[in-house]
């Protein structure tokens, strides 16, 4: 699941990064195109700008522009700005946090599953989506840390 706010941000990024977009897009344009409420989208865009992924400019001819090439912006980088993992310290089995030196049986496997879920976001860029391309790494490769058994 991805929060509605993160979804707004992603759609906004896709709009701004589209090759046919040549000038800065205003917040209300982006809001209209994405279906998000105007002021809410403004807040979302502001957060993305603070993170350095887009640039904001006020006044006439103002609006939002990419600050980083679309090929370098992964979906995870956008989504993680809003959907922070709360990381329940209680382990999947038992009633306390897992002792790192002696984790519960399910610990590593659960970590692997959670980690694997992040891969598609970490290995797909805004540019990939705009080109209708799926990076094979997004669905085929798992980092070393995921190899459990």
Residues that bind DNA (CB under 7 A): 3-5, 8, 26-28, 36-37, 39-40, 42-43, 45-46, 49, 56-64, 82
CA pseudo-torsion sign 12, 15, 19, 22: negative
Retrieve residue 75's tokens.
């979906």
Retrieve residue 110's tokens.
């659960």
- Strand pairing partners for 57? 63
67-83 exposure pattern, b = at least 16 Cβ within 10 A, e = fewer: eeebeebbbbbbbbbbb
Which option in DNA, a second copy, none does residue 94 bind, with CB closer than 5 to 8 A by kind? Answer: a second copy
Retrieve residue 37's tokens.
């409420």
Residue 1 binds to a second copy (criterion: CB under 8 A): yes
- Nearest to a second copy of 67, 92 (CB atom): 92
Per DSSP, the three-state class of 52 is coil
Residue 149 binds to a second copy (criterion: CB under 8 A): yes
- Nearest to a second copy of 57, 148 (CB atom): 148
Residue 95 binds to a second copy (criterion: CB under 8 A): yes
Which option in DNA, a second copy, none does residue 137 bind, with CB closer than 5 to 8 A by kind? Answer: none
Dihedral through CA 74, CA 44, CA 81, CA 118, nearest 10?
A: -50
- Nearest to a second copy of 57, 113 (CB atom): 113
The site for a second copy (CB under 8 A) is made up of 1-3, 7, 10-11, 14-15, 18, 32-35, 75, 83, 85, 88, 90, 92-95, 105-110, 112-114, 116-117, 119-121, 124, 128-134, 138-140, 142, 146-149
């Amino acid at each position: 699941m991805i929060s509605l706010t993160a979804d707004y941000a992603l759609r906004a990024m896709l709009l701004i990064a589209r090759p046919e977009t040549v000038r800065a897009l205003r917040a209300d344009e982006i809001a209209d195109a994405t279906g998000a409420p105007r002021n809410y989208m403004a807040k979302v865009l502001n957060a993305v700008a603070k993170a350095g992924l887009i640039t904001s400019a006020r006044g006439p001819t103002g609006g939002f522009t990419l600050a980083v090439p679309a090929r370098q912006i992964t979906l995870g980088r956008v989504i993680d700005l809003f959907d922070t993992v709360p990381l329940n310290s209680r382990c999947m089995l038992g009633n306390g946090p897992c002792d790192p030196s002696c984790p519960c049986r399910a610990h590593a496997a659960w970590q692997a599953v959670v980690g694997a879920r992040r891969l598609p976001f970490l290995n797909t860029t805004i540019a990939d989506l705009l080109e209708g391309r799926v990076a094979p790494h997004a669905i085929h490769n798992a980092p070393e840390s995921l190899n459990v058994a």
